[in-house]
Amino acid sequence: MVVFMMMFVVQSFQKDRKTNTNMTSYFYTSSDTTPGAYGNPSNWDDSGGGGCTDGNAPCEIAVPDDTTLADHISGLSNSQVLAISKSRKSL
């Protein structure tokens, strides 16, 4: 019983921690679609949102405030960045 209660407390804490994470939105500002381009932090900016519609390129990603954009996406393939993008746009 005690073990069950401790597991519940730990799970509740982890759940609260995840929901209280602040995020910063970054927007894809490049027209580069070559392999690895979406994982290049210099192709993103935290301003200039909008224009996000369905398409084949990432438009917006959310990055936790406790990490950098570079740490979040550097080295990811284009398909991996697309998988974590909040929205897409046509280029």
Q: What are the 10-residue block averages of pLDDT along the chain, 91 residues in total?
A: 45 50 93 96 88 90 96 96 95 88
The answer to whether residue 5 sits within a structural domain is no
The pLDDT value recorded for residue 6 is 43
Residue 2 lies in a domain: no
Domain membership flag for residue 32: yes
Residue 10 located in a structural domain: no
pLDDT of the residue at 71: 97
pLDDT for 48:
73
3 within a domain of the structure (yes/no):
no
- Give the residue from 56, 49, 41 showing the smallest Cα distance to 91: 56
- Number of structural domains the chain divides into: 1
Question: Quick one: pLDDT at residue 16?
Answer: 45
Residue 8: CB atoms within 10 A of its CB come to 10
Domain that holds residue 45: 22-89
Other beta carbons within 10 angstroms of residue 84's beta carbon come to 14
pLDDT at res. 52: 86
- 64 assigned to some structural domain: yes
Full-model pTM: 0.75
What is the rounded CA–CA span in Å between residue 19 and residue 90?
31
